[in-house]
């Protein structure tokens, strides 16, 4: 069954909680006319929403905040969080408004949230708006992450206007409609812990369990079990980020999902030349959220969550749960990287090969995505001394020696070249969202109101492991000018 705007089953389970958790607020529409920039049919499928809704004149008005969804109950969520390691006592949805919660034909619930929908009580003197630049970046990257098989929020549509929004410069305003089963964050618990309000912590935990971890309901240790699941999901998520070279940029606890989703795309970046210390956020002057720091920041963040849950779980149990994080992360990361190399298991030999390869990649600044994709073409029984891939490396002799050892281990595996190559092509993407690609889409949209680049990128990013004839230029190394692109917390 496909739903229209009138028939889409709506509720808002979060609004069933007391008003301490949120503020009911109405979106603020643009002053100038709004228009649709892009509609994500794949995200619409999550709602069982009929693509024909685009012909409904109310569509743009609803998703630009001018009209409410029939049966909607808009609200902005309260939360706090650790930002760059420092606790900020009240944050909340400063430019995001949850319109409603939609239920699809499979009884799955999705919150529809306007990002850039105007001021809320949590805006902290900001304008509550988003700009075209940042909304395009989130719109594209949420689809890219989904295409890579990494848990993420989704983006339903982009609506823009000629309203002026002030950031480092004057920019055009835009609103993104985001979908997620829940937007509850680690900071949603922290705000009540630091206020010494224990009852809201228990109520929120009960809500999360009832709606998202129902298998835990009624168990005497359900809160501890919830923490353990969140630790596991967070560790796995960050291992997935590391495996594709993704850097989030702002891993504050208010940007960490209790469902293990990639949440709040700001100054993110996919690493190009391999550099463990890669910092994608121009505002991160001390490199707190550098690529190689993400695993440990994940531990810091789940530790903050565990602390916030101490009123309802035993401290020793919380410590024991946190002690599992590193092993869980390492296990996932090693397995993902073994698969990228074409092996089924991460044995000691595979890990030696991986460590040596990464060291050589760092020395030569080899392109992370292109290198792993190209490894799929290595033939284990070939007698060729040197491969074209060797040109990615400064010390070709050293890499040739690595290839020799790599082939030896490939020959010891049960897969033949065809089987291994197929497996590797399914875990090593051909396409990632490089910053210059997003920048081209932003410039065309802003300068010419030409949204065709968004459409092309959505095609390749939604299926990044496929070849996409005619699109292979998106899989080439970035142009020289791409090195001048900077993204910051305003991005």
Active site positions, annotated: 254
Strands 96-103 and 109-115 come out as antiparallel
Alpha-carbon span 135 to 301, nearest angstrom: 26
Burial class (CB in 10 A: 0-12, 13-18, 19+), 435: buried
- Taking a C-beta distance cutoff of 8 angstroms, is the pair 270, 246 a contact? yes
Three-state DSSP at 131 gives: strand
Residue 171, strand partner residues? 165
Report yes or no: 77 and 92 within 8 Å, Cβ to Cβ.
yes
d(CA 74, CA 66): 13
Do residues 336 and 240 make contact, with C-beta atoms less than 8 angstroms apart? yes
Q: Which of 135, 154, 119 is nearest to 36 (CA)?
A: 135
Locate 462 and state its tokens. Answer: 């939604």
| Exposure b/e, 4-19, CB count within 10 A at least 16 = b | ebeebbbebebbebee
> What gap in Å lies between CA 84 and CA 248, rounded to an integer?
13
Strands 86-88, 170-180: pairing is unpaired
If you write DSSP's letter for every residue of 386-452 in order, what string do you get?
Answer: --GGGGG-S-HHHHHHHHHHHHHHHHTSS--HHHHHHHHHTTS-S----HHHHHHHHHHHHHH---H
DSSP assignment letter at 238 = H
CA dist., res. 177 & res. 240, Å (int): 25
Burial of 176 (0-12, 13-18, 19+ CB in 10 A): buried
């Amino acid at each position: 069954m496909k739903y229209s705007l009138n028939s889409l089953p709506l509720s808002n389970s979060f609004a069933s909680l007391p008003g301490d958790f949120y503020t009911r607020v109405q979106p603020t529409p643009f002053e100038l006319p709004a228009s649709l920039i892009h509609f994500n049919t794949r995200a619409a499928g999550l709602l069982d929403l009929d693509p024909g809704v685009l012909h409904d004149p109310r569509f743009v008005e609803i998703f630009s905040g001018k009209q409410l969804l029939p049966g909607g109950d808009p609200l902005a969520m309260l939360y706090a969080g650790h930002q760059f390691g420092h606790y900020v006592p009240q944050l909340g949805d400063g430019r995001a408004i949850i319109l409603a919660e939609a239920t699809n034909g499979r009884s799955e619930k999705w919150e529809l949230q306007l990002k850039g929908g105007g001021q809320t009580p949590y805006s902290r003197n900001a304008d509550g708006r988003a700009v075209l630049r940042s909304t395009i970046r989130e719109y594209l990257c949420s689809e890219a992450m989904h295409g890579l098989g990494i848990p993420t929020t989704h983006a339903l549509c982009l609506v823009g206007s000629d309203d002026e929004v002030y950031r480092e410069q004057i920019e055009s305003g835009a609103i993104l409609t985001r979908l997620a089963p829940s937007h509850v964050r680690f900071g949603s618990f922290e705000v009540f812990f630091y206020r010494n309000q224990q009852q809201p912590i228990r109520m929120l935990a009960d809500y999360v369990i009832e709606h998202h971890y129902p298998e835990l309901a009624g168990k005497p240790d359900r809160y501890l079990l919830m923490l353990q699941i969140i630790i596991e999901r967070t560790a796995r998520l960050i291992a997935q980020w590391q495996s594709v070279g993704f850097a989030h940029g702002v891993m504050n606890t208010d940007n960490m999902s209790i469902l293990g989703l990639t949440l709040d795309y700001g100054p993110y970046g996919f690493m190009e030349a391999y550099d463990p210390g890669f910092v994608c956020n121009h505002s991160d002057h001390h490199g707190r959220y550098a690529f190689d720091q993400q695993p440990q920041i994940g531990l810091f963040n789940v530790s903050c969550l565990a602390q916030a849950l101490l009123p309802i779980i035993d401290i020793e149990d919380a410590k024991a749960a946190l002690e599992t994080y590193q092993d869980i992360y390492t296990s996932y990361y090693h397995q993902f990287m073994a698969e990228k190399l074409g092996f089924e298991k991460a044995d000691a030999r595979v890990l030696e090969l991986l460590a040596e390869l990464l060291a050589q990649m760092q020395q030569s600044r080899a392109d992370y995505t292109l290198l792993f994709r190209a490894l799929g073409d290595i033939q284990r029984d070939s007698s060729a001394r040197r491969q074209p891939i060797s040109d990615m490396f400064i010390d070709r002799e050293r890499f040739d020696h690595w290839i020799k050892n790599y082939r030896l281990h490939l020959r010891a595996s049960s897969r033949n070249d065809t089987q291994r190559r197929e497996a590797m092509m399914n875990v090593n993407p051909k396409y990632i969202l490089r910053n210059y690609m997003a920048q081209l889409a932003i410039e065309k949209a802003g300068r010419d109101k030409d949204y065709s680049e968004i459409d092309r990128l959505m095609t390749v990013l939604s299926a990044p492991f496929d070849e996409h004839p005619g699109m292979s230029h998106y899989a080439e190394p970035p142009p020289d000018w791409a090195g001048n692109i900077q993204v910051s917390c305003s991005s």
